[in-house]
Structure 1
Amino acid sequence: MAVKSSDRPEPVHSSRINSISSQFSDGPMASPTARSSTSSWSEEPVQSNMDISTGHMILSYMEDHLKNKNRLEKEWEALCAYQADLTATNIALKEENAAKNRSLSVVAYDHNRIILKGESGHDHSDYINASPIMDHDPRNPAYIATQGPLPSTVADFWQMVWENGCVVIVMLTSLAENGVKQCYHYWPDEGSNLYNIYEVNLVSEHIWCEDFLVRSFYLKNLQTNETRTVTQFNFLNWNDHGVPTSTRSLLDFRRKVNKCYKGRSCPVIVHCSDGAGRSGTYILIDMVLNKMAKGAKEIDIAATLEHLRDQRPGMVQTKEQFEFALTAVAEEVNAILKALPQ
């Protein structure tokens, strides 16, 4: 897709795109094992190396996409018809592994899956329904997209966290929605729980706003006695197959995640229920905005989504989620442009 100019968007898009005016910075941390809340946050400058003219071109292109519903429909149809080259999922569907999947339609590809150290696992298996997601460096995945843990896979989940050096977990689901279980409660509400050889201690739970909260865990490997701090960001306002009611809340959430992650080189674990719809939408938004922040001159969101689907099936499940990603990118670019010296 070439970035091109367009007319100004219709009022409905203009109001959505201009809705971002501030970001937040870290507030007071909760004391260990304490729960606290905050109703406001201070503004924080947008950090980006985006060129002003490039930013305006990209924003214009995004607005045109959001305005032109016929174009959006055709692009989504083309994305639905896209087929990855390598789609074998034989390992995921083996008899001994099938029960470890929430959905048999969203499982890790044979050629692109997180491989656990079998000798360390509670059942000596190397399988977990999780996919490394690369951006530009095939040696270092930027993310791990995975399903919400099941009761039988919690120990595998924490083993994956440990073995991949992960320190940030992005959880995009509630434990249950409308009476339907979306994810097993894989952490202790207080104190500590033991999952095979991994002891997980809840240090703090901080309610930032009605849309999300942040939990801090102390993770210990009882075999080696090594320890690590892991931070979980839990976004609560996003139902399965839908979109958040506000782009701003998700963009604020993303900034909070990235501020915590800054300077790390390990992958960010992203999960919803099946690890595809909401997880794919979040990763798509984050990946595109990270490219922009590094000064990319051209952005192709559809091609980026195809790149994600080459690595895990079902990434971004609905046209509404794809449109939400476009809207979120446009809003953030607008916020970046406002913060740049004019």
Structure 2
Amino acid sequence: MKALKRNTTLTNKNREGADIPSDENRPRLYLPGRSDTSDYINAVYMDSFKVKRRYIAAQSPLSVTVQDFLTLIFQENCTVVVSFHDLITDKVGVFYPADNQVLVVGDFEVTTDRKVDKRDNWVMRTLSLKYKKDGRVKAVTHIQYTDWPQGSNVPTSPASFIHVIHFVGQLADASSGPIVLHCLDGAKHCGLFCTVSNLLEKMELEQEVSVVNEVRRVQTRRRKAIANIEQFNFCYECVLQQIGSSNTYSNVGVK
């Protein structure tokens, strides 16, 4: 509780209304040579059904926390980042430049490959992240999911959401680090992604799922996740969508 209260006071690093993490499951920023002495970032490790710390659910960066966000991606060896926002319209701190340009943020240089892959429900970019202190460079695939209307509690359809979850999972299979998910408060969009992803994994492996239990499990890390009935019902809709899409799931038990 003391850590939670302390983290709440870091008003320059938390967006108003954001879900404040405790220290128990929060990544510490430790990259050698950092100019900022604080290890705080509004982010938490999230387990998938099969893999511990499969995800990091992060608050979308503020203009003053972009370097922290890039530090997180670099130090955790994250090769996939999923965004649920437009950086301009949602007033998110810019952490990658326009296509084929260079963005310098503190200790980092970020470049964007000129080839941008635009799909029906997301945009995929390849970023190059260079840590200027030692010259190391890491490649990052950035997915911007575009089928979640601004102001809505849920995506446009379960089918498109399931599609992007599967696509991200395929991209990250060879990744040695967690998948970074980020949204304005660190919980609303990220929490729904983690919940549905875990339900789909459990269906595949055990042929039985409990939406209630999975929501509770996700809420132990992100208290504001699945905070309304619309999102709760959407979880069920995704499960039913998956069952209806294949005979493989015809005997799945849903609670």
Which TM bucket (shorter chain)?
0.7 to 0.9
How far does residue 165 in structure 1 lie from its aligned partner after superposition?
0.8
Cα distance in 2 between the residues matched to 1:108 and 1:171: 19
The 5-angstrom pairing of residues 57-206 of structure 1 reads: 89-94=4-9, 97-117=10-30, 120-135=33-48, 140-175=52-87, 181-190=90-99, 191-203=101-113, 204-206=115-117
Quote the residue 2:253 is aligned against.
none
1:243–1:182 Cα change, 3 Å: farther
Quote the residue 1:285 is aligned against.
196
How far does residue 334 in structure 1 lie from its aligned partner after superposition?
2.3
Amino acid at match of 2:24: H
Cα distance in 1 between the residues matched to 2:59 and 2:24: 18
Contact 2:116 2:124 in 1 (8 A): yes
How far does residue 170 in structure 1 lie from its aligned partner after superposition?
1.0
Give the unaligned 5+ runs of structure 2: 251-255
Quote the residue 1:254 is aligned against.
165
Quote the residue 2:179 is aligned against.
268
Cα distance in 1 between the residues matched to 2:193 and 2:36: 32
Cα distance in 1 between the residues matched to 2:202 and 2:16: 31
**Which range is displaced more, 242-251 or 118-127?**
118-127
- Using CA pairs below 8 Å that are at least 6 residues apart, which structure has the higher relative contact order? 1
Say which of 273, 290, 308 aligns to 2:218. Answer: 308
Cα distance in 2 between the residues matched to 1:234 and 1:101: 22
1:88–1:299 Cα change, 3 Å: farther
Contact 1:147 1:274 in 2 (8 A): yes
Alignment: residue pair count: 247
Larger radius of gyration: 1
TM-score by length of 1: 0.66
Which secondary structure state, in structure 1, belongs to the residue aligned with residue 6 of structure 2? Answer: coil
**Which range is displaced more, 281-290 or 182-191?**
182-191
Quote the residue 1:83 is aligned against.
none
Cα distance in 2 between the residues matched to 1:159 and 1:124: 13
Contact 2:48 2:54 in 1 (8 A): yes
Cα distance in 2 between the residues matched to 1:118 and 1:266: 15
Cα distance in 2 between the residues matched to 1:236 and 1:136: 26
How far does residue 258 in structure 1 lie from its aligned partner after superposition?
1.6
Contact 1:106 1:276 in 2 (8 A): yes
Contact 2:78 2:176 in 1 (8 A): no
Q: Deviations over 1:134-175 (max 9, x none)?
A: 23689x401100111100000000000011110001111223
Cα distance in 2 between the residues matched to 1:126 and 1:224: 20
Contact 2:128 2:140 in 1 (8 A): yes
Q: Deviations over 1:11-61 (max 9, x none)?
A: xxxxxxxxxxxxxxxxxxxxxxxxxxxxxxxxxxxxxxxxxxxxxxxxxxx
Cα distance in 1 between the residues matched to 2:91 and 2:75: 25
Give the unaligned 5+ runs of structure 1: 1-85
Contact 1:142 1:268 in 2 (8 A): yes
CA RMSD of aligned residues (A): 2.3
Say which of 226, 247, 253 aligns to 1:337. Answer: 247
Structure 1 runs of 4+ aligned residues shifted over 3 Å read 118-122, 135-138
Contact 2:49 2:202 in 1 (8 A): no
**Which range is displaced more, 149-158 or 114-123?**
114-123
Cα distance in 1 between the residues matched to 2:66 and 2:53: 22
